Structure 1
Amino acid sequence: MKLIVQAARRMFAVLDWPLLILLVVMALVGMATMHSAVGNTDWRFADQLRNFLLAFAAMWFVALLRPAWIMRAAPLFYVLGVGLLVAVMLFGETSKGATRWLNLGITRIQPSEMMKIAVPLMLAWYFQRQSANRFRVLDFLVAGVLLAVPAGLIIDQPDLGTALLVLASGFCVIYFAGLSFKLLIPAVLAVTLALGTLVAYEDQICQPEVDWVVLHDYQKYRVCVLLNPGSDPLGKGFHTIQSMIAVGSGGLYGKGYMQGTQTHLDFIPERTTDFIFAVYAEEFGLYGGVVLLILYMLLVLRGLTITVRAPTQFGRLLAGAMSMMMFVYVFVNIGMVTGVLPVVGVPLPFMSYGGTALMTLGVACGLLMSIGAQPPRPDG
């Protein structure tokens, strides 16, 4: 009996209650918004409820694992993920012009999703192994290769949204490990120059006959539509225009729950997935949007608090990457819904429909709880 009680205490001791409460609130908001988007009789509502339960179960399971065990498994997890990406390139199923899925007979999997976790895990493991010495430029170059290989394979599928999240989570590990900001200045200047050139010569660069080489045609048109949505209002610009109308029509207070006309008259495309924030903003307005952003901010801040208190280099780097990955999710999704960023297919955490993304977020939160359950550093 005593062993059972001790095991039960251990199971609940790993839960980070501030983080868990925030996640439960986010789940309730997400399910309420999904109910408005599709109704409780739609199969997606029940499916999303199941997805949340599975994501919370995955979170709890990962939280029970000790960071030392997780660290030992990191290289294997990374190699498995890269191997599956190569298998997708060779044998993957193609749908809507993209080859992202691998058919295992009994089910299909999307290996790129697991790399959102596997890449920061591998990089945190690598820097933990090198932490006995001062990090050299070579160490950051090796880390860059470890990041570039899976990111390149994902971009080739093509899946720019997932590649962006993999790059963001991996880059956070490298930056938190001590990468000098001075080394980023050339990249920042190059991006700024490219954006300036794109805006200045948009009419010429966005012509159909112009090949961007590094981007697929559909990615090129997404960027061009961002600069001028009215150039194709009933085609490639439709998503952006309708979502911006929905967000703007919500005003300060919103139209009220279940009263969104853009939503219920089917003007918002992909309203249960990438554009669910437009549904929320139309019904709850600017004030409701601010409340949602505060919830996300608290979620990220809780993750960063765990990061600061982590007792090991591995824990700090991994927790920081998981926290910033959620920030990038929110920033990119809301940016593309409001017309600030191009549409790249990034879901809104704990709001958008989809089991794979929710499972990834559940594992990320489980990693935060596992790290947070360890005794903090003496100076933390």
Structure 2
Amino acid sequence: MRIFKLPKWRNIDYIILIIMTILLCVGVFCIRQEDVLIKSTNPLYQKQIFGIVIGSVLLFGLLFVDYRWIASWSPILYIGIILVLAYVLKFGKVINQVKRWIQFGAIQLQPSEIAKLILILFLAYLCDLFKDRMDKFMTLVILGAAVAIPVLLILLEPHLSTSLVIVIIFCVMVYTAGISRRVIGMACTILIPILAFIIIGIGVYNIEVPLIKPYMVHRVLAHFSDNDKEAASTDKYQQNQSLGAIAAGGMKGKAIGGQKQIRSYTGIYANESDFIFSAVGEEFGFIGGVVIVGLYLILVLRCMSIGVHSPDYIGKLICIGVSSMFMLQMFVNISVATSILPNTGLPLPFISYGLTSLINGMAAVGLVENVRIHSKG
């Protein structure tokens, strides 16, 4: 295996790159609009453009290194991210009573975002290592333990939504890797009663469960409550405002429709990140929102297709893991903004403000393109 290899540019999936570029442009536009409306003295869109430059360098740099060699280094990357996540719990920057960031001057790094991609690489590596033992329960235990450590550290920050995304990515990758139905049945026999006990304990008897914070429970209760007091709470208020912003966009939106008035809903917290789809809806309307969702679906399907046609286990699992990550984040972010799911914080890939999630997403695209290029020789 040659580690460094000049990529054959004809083998690149340019549709993925075009879709990513469109989403990046939409993100910068919406973030800039938010900066203008709130008269920001520290424009976020400039930082977003800086992140795009760094992400582009990383994306194209990854094309020159064989993905199998990158995966072979994933155990070192895994140990590194575990240490960084532990560092965050002790010395991380606290924002809104949660400790998820490391401060580097004016830049904030969110290691839990990086952990997603590193775990995808590490799981692909481990599944390839144990591919002849996928019918053994101990294989699932080893794979599960590898994921449980970072998930526990992320839960302690706390960040439940990212932890759940990682767990679902793990399930998809392990299933794709060919874990036997017998092993899946054994795992379900153990886990389902435990999960049922936790859910009933929290929902019915108000039992405090370690790692499940009261505000997490409150968000779920507020979401499903018809009580006016709950509806007026911060969590529900955000989502109601988000729905109002999307509705204000109408069919064509204020950007596409040529409406000169400013956006009606400028006070939504995290309007540039977790709730950026409300800005997308108001600026580009229902039509624009549907187009954005369509672009994400095409992106995910293209990534999955590259994985399906990969000649080896590692390439296949990397693409499936990345596809799952993009799909989950898109679904959860838009579902929260449209009040389908309870309020939680996950970025919309390539559109939401956030250097770590942006660069991580572009690196993930680089890995998928890497699989396509080096699989074709």
Q: TM-score, normalised by structure 1?
A: 0.84
State the match for 2:151 in structure 1.
151
Q: CA 1:9–1:153 in structure 2 vs 1: closer, same or farther (change >3 Å)?
A: closer
Letter in 2 for 1:219: M
Letter in 1 for 2:250: G
Query: Quick check: 27-36 or 52-61, which moved more?
Result: 27-36
Letter in 1 for 2:222: V
What are the within-5 Å matches in structure 2 for residues 58-69 of structure 1? 58-69=58-69
Shift, 1:187, TM fit? 8.6
State the match for 1:239 in structure 2.
238
Aligned-partner SS, 1:100: strand
CA RMSD of aligned residues (A): 3.3
CA distance in 1, matches of 2:298, 2:339: 25
Q: CA 1:189–1:73 in structure 2 vs 1: closer, same or farther (change >3 Å)?
A: closer
State the match for 1:16 in structure 2.
13
Aligned-partner SS, 1:99: strand
What are the within-5 Å matches in structure 2 for residues 272-351 of structure 1? 272-351=272-351
CA distance in 2, matches of 1:274, 1:191: 31
Shift, 1:319, TM fit? 0.9
Q: In 1, are the aligned partners of 2:222 and 2:233 still within 8 Å (CA)?
A: no
Query: Quick check: 28-37 or 354-363, which moved more?
Result: 28-37
CA distance in 1, matches of 2:58, 2:168: 23
State the match for 1:218 in structure 2.
215
Q: In 1, are the aligned partners of 2:7 and 2:374 still within 8 Å (CA)?
A: no
CA distance in 2, matches of 1:24, 1:105: 28
Shift, 1:50, TM fit? 1.8
Letter in 2 for 1:110: Q
Q: CA 1:265–1:149 in structure 2 vs 1: closer, same or farther (change >3 Å)?
A: closer
State the match for 1:268 in structure 2.
268
State the match for 2:176 in structure 1.
176
Shift, 1:122, TM fit? 1.0
State the match for 2:165 in structure 1.
165
Deviation by residue 1:251-299 (Cα, 9 ceiling, x = unmatched):
3333444859794552322211111101111232222211111100110
Shift, 1:245, TM fit? 1.7
Long gaps (5+) in structure 2 = none
Long gaps (5+) in structure 1 = 1-6
Residue 29 (structure 1) aligned to one of 26, 33, 39: 26
Letter in 1 for 2:24: A
Q: CA 1:187–1:63 in structure 2 vs 1: closer, same or farther (change >3 Å)?
A: farther
Q: CA 1:302–1:223 in structure 2 vs 1: closer, same or farther (change >3 Å)?
A: same
Letter in 2 for 1:100: R
Query: Quick check: 115-124 or 178-187, which moved more?
Result: 178-187
Aligned-partner SS, 2:94: strand
State the match for 2:120 in structure 1.
120
What count of residue pairs does the alignment treat as equivalent? 365
Deviation by residue 1:38-87 (Cα, 9 ceiling, x = unmatched):
33985112221222222122111122210121121110000111122222
Aligned-partner SS, 2:131: coil
Q: Percent identity?
A: 26
CA distance in 2, matches of 1:301, 1:310: 14
Letter in 1 for 2:318: L
Shift, 1:342, TM fit? 1.7
CA distance in 2, matches of 1:261, 1:242: 18
CA distance in 1, matches of 2:310, 2:103: 39
Q: CA 1:196–1:87 in structure 2 vs 1: closer, same or farther (change >3 Å)?
A: closer
CA distance in 2, matches of 1:130, 1:112: 26
